[in-house]
Amino acid sequence: MDSDSEVNLPSQIYESVRIDGNVGRLLYLSIDDTWWSDPGPAQGNFRDITFNDITITRSQQARSVIQDVDGNTRIDNIVFNNLSINGTVVTEANRDQLFEIDDATATVEFNP
């Protein structure tokens, strides 16, 4: 992504994904500075990303991450429908066990 605040990653759908075995983590979705970006605060937005019927048959070794590191950008409307990790369906009630989410800058929903 570019360091332009007008750059967006909109309307992505990922569905019917099955991962047999363990993973390091399912997802690392973050807006932050990198060594190749322009100096200054991270910019850009992620929005309207849907994950349908995602299964990891075993475990993830680290919690998945959804965050904005400096509070200047938004990650909006990330939806997980029927996400299962090691036989456990991820819901709003157990998401903190499997995800690290910055609620101040991200809107994320988990539906069984």
CA distances (Å), origin 43, targets 3, 8, 40, 62 = 5, 9, 9, 26
Which pLDDT tens digit goes with each residue over 98-112?
Answer: 999 988 778 999 999
Which pLDDT tens digit goes with each residue over 65-82?
Answer: 998 877 777 888 999 999
Burial of 34 (0-12, 13-18, 19+ CB in 10 A): exposed
Average pLDDT of the residues in 56-63: 96
Q: pTM score, two decimals?
A: 0.83
Question: What are the backbone dihedrals phi and psi of residue 39, each rounded to the nearest 5 degrees, phi first?
Answer: -65, 155
Give the model's pLDDT for residue 41. 65
pLDDT, greater one: 40 or 83: 83
Q: Where are the domains of the chain?
A: 8-111
Name the band, by pLDDT with cuts 50, 70 and 90, for residue 95. very high
